[in-house]
Amino acid sequence: MSNSLHIAQNLVAIAPAMDNPFTGIVPNFTVFGAEFNTLWKKLFAGLWAVVLIWTAARLLMSFMAMSDHKGGGHPQALSEARSDTKKAAFAFGGTIAFGAIVSLFFALFG
């Protein structure tokens, strides 16, 4: 057994047990008042809407770029346009599903 592993095991054995100081504490935005609670939700919903519009526009533009390169004799440009379309579709889908994704994380880890 290595010397550093032996020292680490001895320290763990003699270290006192400590309780988790965050047990029972959950995030609570109402502590700042009802106005703040309403405001941050409105701001977040607005930001989410802007991101949704942006990703939808990027998806539409990538479809148009892919359409422009079809049959144009530029296979590399078509391949790049398809790759951009896949990325834009993934971003758009992730933006749409953001609420469900966050809920899933809270259900699994919260």
Can you tell me which residue has the tokens 């398809």?
A: 82
* Res 1 pLDDT > 60: no
Determine, yes or no, domain membership for 43. Answer: yes
Distance CA 102, CA 43 (A): 17
Determine, yes or no, domain membership for 83. Answer: yes
Determine, yes or no, domain membership for 37. Answer: yes
Q: Which residues contact 95 (CB under 8 A, 6 or more apart)?
A: 48, 51, 52, 55
Instruction: Report the pLDDT value the prediction gives residue 24, as an integer from 0 to 100.
Output: 81
Distance CA 98, CA 47 (A): 12
Determine, yes or no, domain membership for 20. Answer: no
Specify the pTM.
Answer: 0.67
Determine, yes or no, domain membership for 5. Answer: no
What is the domain range of residue 64? 33-109
Determine, yes or no, domain membership for 59. Answer: yes
Determine, yes or no, domain membership for 58. Answer: yes
Number of domains in the chain: 1
Task: Write out pLDDT tens, residues 28-87.
Answer: 878 888 888 889 999 999 999 999 999 999 999 999 999 888 877 788 988 999 999 999
Determine, yes or no, domain membership for 23. Answer: no
